[in-house]
């Protein structure tokens, strides 16, 4: 089931919401970015696959941000449209080649089907559009996940809704992930993907705070992508034009050659 390379066999101990510890073993590396890696792991209690997300922290600010994301994710209520987090850990890094201070680790559910963005890319290459019925089903699940965030005692906005932050599980069940942009606002403005970013992030209203309603714009861009395989701002960005200007003027064009039915 697993390939084995890199740090295969390395042990990671994490604590769940109740403080109970569990051990996981690295099996394979799935993806690597500038500040994080995604690895396939298995529990010491069985061979069921999980995902380990390591966030590499080069400063105390990075560490605080990563710990905030990890604890927020760990404490989210259980819901079929929110990716569950099974445990977190902080591990100091000694003599790191890039001078990193520590790593914050999260154990997450493994999605064999991958992300909604990956599925969109495959469908686009095959010219195989989603049906309107499936699009409605996907949007319903994503909205259900958002509703949970908005119904918390302290409501949360996701602030980075996009196909790449939606994982697909059995029977096309969409699951929101990556809660690193969920407040505070300064992190959201920095991390929210430009072509899905609400106008108020480009041009904050004077004397007013940016609320959870900013997610609605991103949700609309995602709906557009389900029909047309890209955000309404992707072509603007590809031309080198101002995404901020296009978003703030609500200059949205709808292609006439949609494949969706």
Task: State the catalytic residue, choosing from 31, 64, 160, 234.
Answer: 160
Structure confidence at residue 102 (pLDDT): 94
Residue 91 reports pLDDT greater than 80: yes
pTM for the full model?
0.86
The tokens describing 166, both together, are 């939606």
Across 48-84, b (16+ Cβ under 10 Å) vs e yields ebbbbbbbbbeeeebbebbbbbbeebbebeeeebbbb
Contacts of 231 (CB under 8 A, 6+ apart): 162, 195, 196, 221, 222, 224, 225
Owner of token pair 């890094």: 93
Q: Where are the domains of the chain?
A: 11-109, 114-249
Q: Give the CATH architecture of domain 11-109.
A: 2-Layer Sandwich (3.30)
Instruction: Please state the rounded mean pLDDT for residues 104-115.
Output: 95
Share of the chain above pLDDT 90, in %: 55
Instruction: Please state the rounded mean pLDDT for residues 237-252.
Output: 82
CATH of 114-249, one of 1.10.510.10, 3.10.450.50, 1.10.540.10, 1.10.357.10: 1.10.510.10
Residue 189 reports pLDDT greater than 70: no
Each residue of 127-176: pLDDT tens digit? Answer: 999 999 999 999 999 999 999 999 998 888 888 999 999 999 999 999 99
Q: Give catalytic status of residue 160 as yes or no.
A: yes
Beta bridge partners of 87: 107
Phi-psi domain of 166 (left: phi exceeds 0; alpha: psi -120 through 50; beta: other): beta
Which pLDDT band holds residue 261 (cuts at 50, 70, 90)? low
Q: What separation in angstroms does the CA of 101 have from each of 5, 29, 34, 70?
A: 25, 22, 15, 17
Each residue of 225-239: pLDDT tens digit? Answer: 999 999 998 888 888
Structure confidence at residue 182 (pLDDT): 67
Contacts of 245 (CB under 8 A, 6+ apart): 251
């Amino acid at each position: 089931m697993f390939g084995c390379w890199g740090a295969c066999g390395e042990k990671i101990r994490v604590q769940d919401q109740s403080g109970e510890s569990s051990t996981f073993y690295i099996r394979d590396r799935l993806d690597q970015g500038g500040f994080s890696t995604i690895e396939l792991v298995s529990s010491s209690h069985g061979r069921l696959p999980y995902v380990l997300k390591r966030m590499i922290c080069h400063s105390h600010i990075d560490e605080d941000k990563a710990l905030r994301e990890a604890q927020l994710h760990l404490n989210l209520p259980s819901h079929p449209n929110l990716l569950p987090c099974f445990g977190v850990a902080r591990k100091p890094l000694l003599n790191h080649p890039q001078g990193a201070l520590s790593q914050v680790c999260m154990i997450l559910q493994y999605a064999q089907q991958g992300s909604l963005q990956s599925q969109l890319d495959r469908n686009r290459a095959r010219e195989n559009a989603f049906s309107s019925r499936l699009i409605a089903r996907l949007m319903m699940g994503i909205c259900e996940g958002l509703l949970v965030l908005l119904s918390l005692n302290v409501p949360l906005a996701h602030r980075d809704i996009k196909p790449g932050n939606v994982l697909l599980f059995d029977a096309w069940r969409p699951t929101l992930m990556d809660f690193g942009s969920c407040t505070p606002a300064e992190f959201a403005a920095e991390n929210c993907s430009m072509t899905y970013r609400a106008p108020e992030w480009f041009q904050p209203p004077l004397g007013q705070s940016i609320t959870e309603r900013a997610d609605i714009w991103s949700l609309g861009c995602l709906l557009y992508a389900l029909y047309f395989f890209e955000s309404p701002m992707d072509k603007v960005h590809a031309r080198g034009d101002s995404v901020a200007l296009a978003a703030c003027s609500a200059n949205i064009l709808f292609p006439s050659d949609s494949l969706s039915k």
